[in-house]
Each structure stands twice: as C-alpha cells, then as structure tokens.
Amino acid sequence: MGDEDTPRFRRPWEDPEAEPPVVTEPASPGDAESDEDGGDPDLLDLTTGDSDLDGYTDDDYLAATTREYQGLAEEIAAAEGQEYERQAVAASMPGVGSGLVGFEDVTGRPGVREEDVEAEEQQRASDLTVRVGTGVVLVGLFLGCLFLGGVWFTSLVMVVAVLSLGELYATLRTRGFRPIALFGFLGVIGGVVAADLGGAGALASTVIVATAAAALFFGVVVRRYPLENLAVTVLGMVWVSLLAFAVLIGDSDRAVELVLLVVLLTAFFDIAAYFVGRAFGRRLIAPVVSPRKTVEGLVGGVITTAALAAILATIPAYDFMSVNQSIMVAVTVSIFAPLGDAAESVIKRALDTKDMGSLLPGHGGMIDRIDALLFVVPAAYFLFRFVGFL
C-alpha cells in the first residue's frame, strides 16, 4: 500500500483520464486514528462504504438509460404498420456455397402466390397446344406434298432448305460473322433442282461450283475476315444441301413408302430417346456438346426404332422389304440421327444460342426440326441404293 506504483481502486463513474490522487499510508497507528476527521476521502469511502451513488433511486436509473431511446416505441409501431415487398437475398451458407435464399427459405412459408402458379400452368398448357397445333400443320403439309409428288415434294424440300439456311445465316450475323447469303442460297436452290433433274452427281457438282464461286468472290472483293466468312458461308450451304437427297428418294417408284419410312423412324427415334432419357437417363453421352443426351435415352431410341422397323416390314405397303433390311434401315437411323443432332449442338454451342430461330411456334427454328434428317437422309439414300430399293 505504501509503494507509489501500486494502482488504487477507481470507481466506474470516475474519469479514467483524470490524474489519480496520491495515496499515502499513515506512518503509525496513531496517525491512522487521526485520519478519522481529515484523512484521504477515497480511503474513507473504501472503509466506510460511502459512495456517490447513495440516494440514486430506480427512477433516476430508468430516466438516465432511456433518454437516448425516446420515441423508439413510436417508430417500431409505425414500422409494423407498413407493407414491404418480399425479396430474395443472396447469402453464403457454410458447406453449401453461395445461393439465392428466398422468403420461404427464411420463414418456412412459401412466397409464391397461387395466382402465379395457375398462370404458369396455363402458360404451359397454351405452349403445348401451340406445339401440337404446329406439328399437325407440318405433318399435314408434308404428307400432302409427298402424296402429290413431283414438283410439289421438290418445292417443299427447297422451301425447307432455304428457310433453314436463312435461320443459320441470321444467327451467324448476330455473332459478328458476315456470310455471303447469295452464294449460299444459290447453292442450296441449285442443288435441289440439280438433284431433281440430274441425280446425286449433279447435286454434288452444283455445290462444288457454288463453293468455288464464293471463294473467288472473297478472293477478289476486299472484306474483313475473309477466311472466317467464307468458311461459314460454305458450311451452311453444304450442310443444308444434304436435305436435297430427299428429292432423290422422292423420285423413285416407291417414293411415298421410302420417305415415310425414313421420316417415321427418325421421328420415333428422337421421341423415344427423349422420353426414355427423361425418365431413366443417368449417364451422359457428351456432357460438353449435349448435356441432356444420355446413354439410356440412346438405348431406348435404338430399341424403339428397331421394333418399329420390324413391324413396318410386316404390313403390305412394305412387302418389298424384309425384316433384316428394315433392321438395317433402323441401324442407319440410330447411327446418323444422333450424329446430326450432335452436329447442330456443336454449332449452337459455338454460337452460344439455344434455338436457331423461332419460325415454328412451340418448336423453335426450321433447322432445329430437321437437324437429324440432314444426316439420316443421305445415309438412307445410299443404303437404299445398296439394297436395291432405288
């Protein structure tokens, strides 16, 4: 107690920066007794229990502590009467990562209104109706032109090819490319006409001439990025011109039966692969190119296509075809249909687009509907030539 460095006890309400008074010990017991009248007041407080808080009532405490919160109750009451929009907030959850947390995640009550759910269901029903309606119109137009044959079927193939190429070129332009559409359209139209008049050789010759003309144009006319734009111009023309092989099949004596066989098997392969993959799909075939295509869906499509081909071989309209030959057609479709679909998927992923167009309500673009046929039709043509159907 007599050491000058010994800290004294400080009352909580005292200023911590104030200079503490000097505390001295009495030299003798006699001196301590003399401090009863005039000793150090701090020591007197510690020994007698006297304090500045003596007489400090509960009312004084409440008045001092609530002075800064005056009007808080009124503000809380006013806030409770206001309405606020429920919004989702981005939150980081340990072990889960960053996610979007909605009102229902915090409160446990769904934040979706029944009216919104009903509106969404009605929209889906409307989309399905539009999709089915568009499909019925397309099937009717296709069957009508197929049974009429001749120039009707050739014209249908030409229109579909031109619309598909136009969608592709339009999508390419939105990504900064500048294909010369004139050469592409002339090559596709000329290829369809040449196939109708001169066969597969004339078709190939027309596409080659159109490619050479486009290359000559880019070599003479100064344009930016000539190599890239020439490549996309020729790519679109050659790719879509593959549909002209349907005209070669349509010129045969069994045009209706063979064209229907190819279209039906391709359509059922696509439908079966979609539904089987959606129900049982687990293992992806090509996650980068087609993240929704699964091995299970592919197997389902192959089995369905083979079964349908075997059934068609037993009906009178296909009495010229054996079951083994029908299975060969099914195998051809099962190989080239997914390849055609994958080819368009590669192009769409490179262009960062979901659909090439919106020409067909509920179905996307025209080229989105014929992507599998662009590979199946040429393969089927050469198979029909091999087995003697053409």
Low-confidence spans in the chain with pLDDT less than 70? 1-74, 77, 79-128, 362-363
High-pLDDT (> 90) share of the chain, %: 49
pLDDT 10s digits, 290-334:
778 889 999 999 999 999 999 999 999 999 999 999 999 999 999
> Can you tell me the distance from the alpha carbon of 335 to that of 286, in angstroms, rounded to the nearest whole number?
15
> Can you tell me the distance from the alpha carbon of 190 to that of 234, in angstroms, rounded to the nearest whole number?
14
* Half-sphere exposure at residue 206, Cβ-oriented, CA atoms within 13 angstroms: 25
Query: 290 has which bridge partners?
Result: 286
Where is 98: in which H helix or E strand? Answer: strand 97-101
> Can you tell me the distance from the alpha carbon of 372 to that of 369, in angstroms, rounded to the nearest whole number?
8
> Can you tell me the distance from the alpha carbon of 68 to that of 60, in angstroms, rounded to the nearest whole number?
14
Query: 364 has which bridge partners?
Result: 360
CB contact at 8 A, 236 and 227: no
CB contact at 8 A, 366 and 167: yes
pLDDT at 366: 87
Residue located via tokens 């979609």 = 274
pLDDT at 75: 72
CA angle 335, 288, 377 (to 5 degrees): 25
- 239 three-state secondary structure: helix
Exposure of 207 by Cβ count < 10 A (0-12 exposed, 13-18 middle, 19+ buried)?
buried
> Can you tell me the distance from the alpha carbon of 69 to that of 78, in angstroms, rounded to the nearest whole number?
15
pLDDT at 32: 43
pLDDT at 27: 47
pLDDT at 356: 80
Q: What are phi and psi of 361, to 5 degrees?
A: -55, 125
pLDDT at 26: 47
pLDDT 10s digits, 102-160:
544 444 445 556 656 566 665 555 566 777 777 788 888 989 999 998 999 999 999 99
CA angle 265, 270, 273 (to 5 degrees): 115
- 92 three-state secondary structure: strand
> Can you tell me the distance from the alpha carbon of 163 to that of 152, in angstroms, rounded to the nearest whole number?
17
pLDDT at 64: 60
Domain range summary for the chain, segments of one domain joined by +? 1-70, 99-148, 149-387
> Can you tell me the distance from the alpha carbon of 330 to that of 318, in angstroms, rounded to the nearest whole number?
14
